[in-house]
Chain A
């Protein structure tokens, strides 16, 4: 290309921005609103002490409780010798004290861990699942594998003619297959690695939680909503909320497609770890029928997802 004058490009951009601010009140107002939004947020949150939500509180407590006598303490001119002597004298005493404190903190943490274990056992016996999530590192319950070609093909064939939303769409195979049929589709995925893999293939996969994304969508926006992936490991409470929200976001003639594995086919260890998480296709059908859909099960030639639930709306959303 011919030699480009970047100063000219910069001038054009700045002139265009000024022009839009002058001529488009909405743009000018938007800029002011954004500035105000940040001013509000920064003022309210900057001085807050936010604890790492992902960290184990006991680990944080243990870390905070451990004092380190090796931390250098610095010096000022003229006080060097005095500080050196004080430092040497106080070093062993400080170390003794911190050792004692660390032992005490360790014992306290051990007791708290015992209490936590006992409470966990009690909660387990009572069937309480805490926040309903499974800790990382427990195999297939962490995040179900990507759907097979059979599932992708079957689900894509069920997409209606309008916009389609795939919840927990993984790397986007279903979104891609639906798109190849000329239907507008996008997916939502909470695993950043899968989002990255999808984006690399230029598939419209958006990062974030499935339920917040669904809540944020327009009412009546989608012709088809596909529930798959992580959805199969959610507790019933979340699933009911999801069905209600999906129902609101569907067009009058929309449909919900559920492609999840049956929890009854889980191996024993996974079944125990995932107790209370996920429901079978038959229960999905029941749930969707209760929500006013005409639901049916379609067999799918896949080793994990053997049945796909197709729910067509028959009654207007409540």
Chain B
């Protein structure tokens, strides 16, 4: 017998935000008493319970498709003409990858083409952010609900957001968390850091995240070396959840120069951990940060560096951002976002019960 809900995703991978999100939706629905099944393009060796999309019949009451890149799962949905709930995480424009990783550029281009075909099959769109929701509406999907990514927010900061009020002197640790990728523009952050080093010679930049593509990481290292800041830039790579929490606790400000963010999980994690945020105003960034961080419209190195310098030097500002961030991050607490997701799915999965 077919389950009530099929959750379709290209691949389940540990440490992947969309995979965690899918598992949490599955958990939510099963707690509500619905039978679920995860359908994947390629089954992971560790978890044999997921169904390969090649054996998928598309006969569940509701099928929820996670879409952020071109995939065979989406292709099967289109081929079978199965109505789906489209959980849209946005697709990075191909232009960012064309020069660095042409195969990835093709894949995201394919994702856009599939998105256009999925419009007529979409029963409801669920978007992480208003920014993503607007994109779905512009494509012609009328029924769109905003429900953020589900994840368990790690935090060690008391709810009142009070804490560190120490002066940082000439130092300061600037943190970036996320894939090292051309659309995230870490080269702009290194450029800003080179200027910041003029004002704060003891400061450090820590980049946490896996490189994709590797050539980009190579270029970032070359840039840091050419600008003479390589000894103060730490490429921490992919880290465990525990280590990530330590980096949030250890750092003094989170910087984001990304030009394309459909939501921005690290922004929220930083806020939840009492870390002030300085970010470039692009895509969904301003919507996620709201009034809990410095969101600037100009990310030229001097402007970005001065924004970081201001946050590092101005203790009352830092304290205020810390307090606002902790409060603001509560919007994305799992208890809140689960409820939002349930509201988004309730009427569809309960039909016929």
Question: A interface vs B, CB < 8 Å?
Answer: 1, 4, 6, 9-10, 12-14, 16-17, 20-21, 27, 30-31, 34-35, 37-38, 41-42, 45-50, 52, 70-72, 74-75, 77, 80, 188, 192, 195-196, 199-200, 204, 206-208, 212-213, 216
Say yes or no: is B317 at the interface (Cβ < 8 Å to chain A).
yes
Report chain A residues within 8 Å CB of B316: 1, 4
Q: With A45-B222, A72-B54, A77-B79 as given contacts, are A13 and B317 in contact (CB-CB < 8 Å)?
A: no
Q: Which 9 A-B pairs have the closest CB atoms?
A: A17-B303, A46-B99, A72-B72, A207-B234, A45-B219, A34-B191, A206-B231, A17-B302, A1-B316
A21 to B300, CA, bound (A): 11
A17 proximity list for chain B (CB < 8 A): 298, 300, 302-303, 306
Given contacts A4-B320, A17-B302, A72-B53, contact A42 B99 (CB under 8 A): yes
Set A21, A41, A199: member contacting B204, Cβ < 8 A: A199
A199 & B250 in contact (Cβ 8 Å cutoff): yes
Cβ A13 vs Cβ B306 within 8 A: yes
Nearest residue, chain B, Cβ from A200: B250
Distance from B225 Cβ to chain A, minimum over Cβ atoms (Å): 9
Besides the known contacts A50-B218, A72-B53, 14 further A-B residue pairs in the complex with CB atoms under 8 A apart = A4-B320, A6-B291, A10-B294, A17-B298, A27-B195, A34-B191, A41-B219, A42-B187, A52-B214, A72-B72, A192-B236, A192-B237, A208-B230, A216-B228
A77 to B77, CA, bound (A): 12
- Does the CB pair A74–B72 fall under 8 Å? yes
13 A-B pairs within 8 Å (CB atoms) are namely A1-B319, A6-B295, A13-B307, A14-B297, A16-B306, A34-B194, A41-B219, A72-B53, A72-B72, A199-B173, A207-B234, A212-B230, A216-B231
Instruction: Decide: B42 and A70 in contact? CB cutoff 8 A.
Output: yes
Total number of B residues with any Cβ neighbor in A under 8 Å:
57
Q: Which residues on the B side are within 8 Å of A80 (C-beta)?
A: 79
Total number of residue pairs linking A and B with CB closer than 8 Å: 132
Residue from B54, B227, B246, B296 in contact with A196 in the complex, judged by beta carbons closer than 8 Å: B246
Report which of B215, B227, B307 forms a contact with A45, defined as CB distance below 8 A: B215
* Interface 1/0 per residue, B185-226 and A, CB below 8 Å: 001000100110010001010000000001110110011001
Chain A hits for B191, CB < 8 A:
34-35, 38
Q: Is the interface of B mostly helix, strand, loop or mixed?
A: helix
Please determine whether B99 and A47 come into contact, CB atoms closer than 8 angstroms: yes
Main secondary structure of the interface of A (DSSP, over half): helix
Which chain A residues lie closer than 8 Å to B300 at the CB level? 17, 31
Task: For residue A176, give the distance in angstroms from its CB to the closest CB of chain B.
Answer: 15
* Alpha-carbon distance A213/B225, docked complex (angstroms): 11
B307 partner residues in chain A, CB cutoff 8 A: 10, 13
- Would you give the shortest CB distance from B266 to chain A, in whole angstroms? 18
- Judging by beta carbons under 8 Å apart, are A38 and B223 in contact? yes
Is B106 among interface residues, defined by CB-CB distance under 8 A? no
Once the chains are docked, how many angstroms separate the CA of A93 from the CA of B128? 44
Cβ of B100 < 8 Å from any Cβ of A? Answer: yes
Give which listed residue, A12, A31, A49, A206, contacts B302 with CB less than 8 A: A31
Closest to A199 in B: B250
CB-defined contacts of B2 to chain A, threshold 8 Å = none
Question: Do the beta carbons of A9 and B310 come within 8 Å of each other?
Answer: yes
Cβ contacts under 8 Å, B215 to chain A: 45-50
Q: Does B49 have its Cβ within 8 Å of any Cβ on chain A?
A: no
Bound Cα distance from A52 to B303, whole angstroms: 35
Q: Which residues of chain A have C-beta atoms less than 8 A from B195's C-beta?
A: 27, 30-31, 34
Q: How far is the CA of A175 from the CA of B302 in the complex (A)?
A: 32
B295 CB to closest chain A CB, in angstroms? 7
